[in-house]
Amino acid sequence: MALNWFKRQSKKKEILTRDGILVKMHAKDKYEAIEMVGKILVKQGKVQASYIDAMKARENMLTTYIGNGIAIPHGVGEAKDKIIESGIAVAQFPEGVEFGENQKAYLVIGIAGKGDEHLNILANIASACEDEKKVKKLINSTSADEIYEMLTEEVS
């Protein structure tokens, strides 16, 4: 299953857009990486700026590293009030970013899910990123367009 759900979700705005993807990024730590994806969500009008702090607070409670080189930072609880509309932002880190002991993320996917949409977003990300070959291609890609196409391709 691919993230084509993101393309179908809203007629007026996509949850994942090409300009919501950064490639070849470098971050000194997981908090800087979270800041990068959070700023994309803010710039796209998906969340209020204070949502970034909620993403970092969530990371302090429990890592958002899900394995296979992927982290999915997001805010929870009261942070839901900071979400304007659902969206995701992707940052690719070819050298990786430490999200914990033996937990290096090469793809950091910031999530903002309005209402209960966060559950669908998380499920779709998990499905799309369980294929190790596909994740490797995402990590090694040099193009936001290529990453967008891989994450939104239709699956038969």
Angle, in degrees to the nearest 10, between helices 144-152 and 132-140: 160
| Whole-number Å distance between alpha carbons of 29 and 27 | 5
Phi/psi zone of residue 75: left (φ > 0), alpha (ψ -120 to 50 degrees), beta?
beta
Element (H, E) at 93: strand 87-98
| Whole-number Å distance between alpha carbons of 90 and 44 | 13
Q: Which of 46, 74, 82, 118 is catalytic?
A: 74
Q: Does the annotation mark 118 as catalytic?
A: no
- Provide the token pair at 147: 């990453």
Q: How many residues does the chain have?
A: 156
Q: What are the catalytic residues?
A: 74
